[in-house]
Copies of this chain bind each other. A is one copy, B any other.
Amino acid sequence: MSLKHILLGMLANPASGYDLKKDFEYSLSNFWNAELAQIYPTLGKLEQDGLISSKVQPSSQGPNRKVYKRLKAGQNELTNWLKQGPIIPKMRIGYAAQFSFLQELNYEERLEFVYALQRDTKKRLAVLQKFVELYPLPGAEKQSEHFSTKQEKEAYALQALVIHHGLLRLQALLDWCDLAIAQMKAIK
């Protein structure tokens, strides 16, 4: 199960299941997501396996929190996972499958399908753009000098790059929408 390793990675700093869910909802959701109903049992398994440990702490606002931290065994498991090389996802791109069946619809319905995809992509791009502004790539501008330690520079660069990955992906999709609309109009 990949989520085990993802949570292990996210636990660079101690956090509760609820905290981790928040992380998914923000920037992380561009490349992974998980529901609380999956996070809690998975944290339980990680603890059983001795990869993380938990400590109950009072919350400033609400019931007690169960804060997890990564153990040495968890650290090892994580680096081993990373050393096994990049995991190429099995593609399940629903809209692309649907697109290849668009002959079943008429001209207007087909175009509307692609317009809807375009609108959705623009919306998601607008959300991402805010993160891109928070994490501009080092080089072009003068940021990154803000960071004193090498650790901080590295952390910043990785964050910025992963956000940029989402950006390139969404831009490529938008380009494709334009192409599809043009082609579909051309053969009308």
Contact = CB atoms under 8 A, between A and B. Distances in A.
A161 interface: yes
Interface residues of A, number: 75
Interface in A158-188: 158-162, 164-166, 168-169, 171-173, 175-176, 179-180, 183-184, 186-187
Contacts of A29: 91
A113 B83 CA distance: 8
Please classify the interface of chain A as helix (H, G, I), strand (E, B), loop, or mixed, using the class held by over half of its residues.
Answer: helix
Interface string A88-104: 11111111111111111
Nearest to A116: B85
A138 interface: yes
A78 interface: yes
A9 B95 contact: no
Contacts of A102: 82, 158
How many copies of this chain does the complex contain?
2
Contacts of A96: 30-32, 162, 165-166
B104 A75 contact: yes
Contacts of A143: none
Contacts of A5: 98
Given A78-B101, A91-B29, A97-B9, A86 B117 contact: yes
A64 interface: no
A87 to B, nearest CB: 3
9 contacts: A32-B97, A85-B113, A86-B95, A99-B162, A99-B165, A103-B154, A150-B187, A161-B183, A172-B172
Interface of A: 2, 5-6, 9, 12, 28-33, 75, 78-79, 81-83, 85-105, 109, 113, 116-117, 120, 124, 137-139, 144, 150-151, 153-155, 157-162, 164-166, 168-169, 171-173, 175-176, 179-180, 183-184, 186-187
